[in-house]
Amino acid sequence: MSNSPFHAGETAIQSRLGVKAKMEAIGKKVIRTVMPEQHRSFYENLPMMFLGSDDSAHNIWATAVYGESGFIQSPDPKNLRLFFNSNPYDPLLEHLHPNKKLGMLGLEWPTRRRNRVNGLVDYVQRMGDTIRLDVNIQQSFGNCPKYIHQQLQEIITEPSESVATDFTVFDDSLKRELSRADTFFIASAHSDFDVSHRGGAPGFILIEDDYHFVFPDYSGNNFFNTLGNLSEDARTGILLVDFKTGSHIYLTGEAEILWDETPWPTVERAVRFRIKAGKKVSFACPYRTTDIVMSPFIPAL
C-alpha cells in the first residue's frame, strides 16, 4: 500500500466533505494488509460471501456464494479458502482465475457485523459442481453496520434447478422487484475491486425509467470506497438477493454520483445507475429469511 490507505478518488470525496484528515488517521489504523484474528474467525463462521470483479469484457458484476458454516477457511492471516457450489448461470464465477483481482464482503446478518477484504485469486479448482477458491489478501478492514436490517435465519433449503432470464431493460416485473427491495450489493473498481452493501426502507431504489434507477447515499463510515471508485470508473455491478424466493438479480452497467440535486429533499447525494445487461436466476440462494427486523438507522426519505 502507499502512504495513504485511500486512493485519489476516495480522498477527493473526503476532502469535498471535510473529513479527509480524520479519515486518513483512522484509515491508517484500521485498514490492514492482513486479517486480524477476529476477522479470520468471523469469515470461517459465515454461511455466505459476496464477491465483486469483472468478466472478460470488463463488465463488473457482484455475486454471492454459499455454504454451511465452515465453507470458508483461513489458513493464515493472508489467505482465505472457499469451497462452494457453482451456479452455471452466474455471470462472474467462470471468469475467476489466478491473479484475478477480487473484492469480498462478509456479512453476519443477526449481529449486523460486516468486514471486507480485497485480494488476488491465488488458485481456482473446479471439481464437478464444486469450486475451490483461494484468495491472497491485499487489504482488510471492518465496515459500518448501519442500514443492515435483515436477520437471516440460517435455514438451508434443498437444491432446486435454477432457471435464468437475460434482459437489457427493466420491465414492469423487474421494476416491482427493485421497488420492493431493502438491500442490494454493489461492486465497483479502481486499482482493486470492491463490493459493498446498500440498504434502506423498501422503496429506497427509485425507478426512473426502463434503464435507470436512483438510490440515496446515506452517511456511513466516511471511507467512501464505492463513491471514490465511481468518481473515477463508472463501471458498476449490482446484486439483489431475494431471501424469500432464493432468486438473484444480477445487473451490470454504469453509475454516476448526483451531488447537486437528488429526488429526496432530505438526502444530500445519490447515485444513478444505468443498466447495460442483467440476468435473473431462480433458486440461486439456498437460504431463506424467516424474520426481518427494520434497522433503527434507516433514515426517512
Give the tens place of pLDDT for each residue, 241-274.
Answer: 998 899 999 999 999 999 988 999 888 899 999 9
What's the pLDDT at 56? 97
298, pLDDT greater than 70? no
| Cα atoms in the 13 Å half-sphere on the side-chain side of 2 | 7
* Residue reference for cell 462478509: 106
Residue whose C-alpha is closest to residue 241's, from 298, 200, 282? 282
Domain count, the chain: 1
Torsion of CA 287, 170, 90, 106, to 10 degrees: -50
Q: Is residue 301 part of a domain?
A: no
Q: What is the mean pLDDT of residues 117-144?
A: 93
Q: Is residue 232 part of a domain?
A: yes
What's the pLDDT at 8? 92
What's the pLDDT at 146? 57
232, pLDDT greater than 80? yes
Q: Which amino acid is at 151?
A: Q
What's the pLDDT at 273? 98
Q: Which amino acid is at 235?
A: R
* CATH code assigned at 208: 2.30.110.10
What's the pLDDT at 297? 55
Q: Is residue 1 part of a domain?
A: no
Work out whether the CA dihedral 220, 225, 228, 230 comes out positive or negative.
Answer: negative
- Determine the Cα–Cα distance for residues 152 and 135; give it in Å rounded to an integer: 26
pLDDT band per the 50, 70, 90 thresholds, residue 1? very low
- Determine the Cα–Cα distance for residues 144 and 121; give it in Å rounded to an integer: 26
User: What pLDDT, in 10s, does the model give residues 189-220?
Assistant: 998 999 999 988 889 999 999 999 999 998 77
Which residues in 91-179 belong to E strands, given as ranges? 101-108, 113-127, 130-142, 150-151, 164-167
Range of the domain at 115: 8-292
- Determine the Cα–Cα distance for residues 190 and 185; give it in Å rounded to an integer: 17
User: What pLDDT, in 10s, does the model give residues 12-25?
Assistant: 998 998 889 998 99
Q: Is residue 286 part of a domain?
A: yes
Cell of 210: 426502463
DSSP per-residue letters across 59-96: -EEEEEEE-STTSEEEEETTEEEEEEE--TT-TTGGG-
Q: Is residue 3 part of a domain?
A: no
Looking at per-residue pLDDT, the higher value among 292 and 138 belongs to 138
Answer whether 182's CB lies under 8 Å from 215's CB: no
User: What pLDDT, in 10s, does the model give residues 77-105?
Assistant: 999 999 999 999 999 999 999 999 999 99
Q: Is residue 298 part of a domain?
A: no
Q: Is residue 299 part of a domain?
A: no
Q: Which amino acid is at 232?
A: E
| Cα atoms in the 13 Å half-sphere on the side-chain side of 214 | 15
Q: Is residue 174 part of a domain?
A: yes
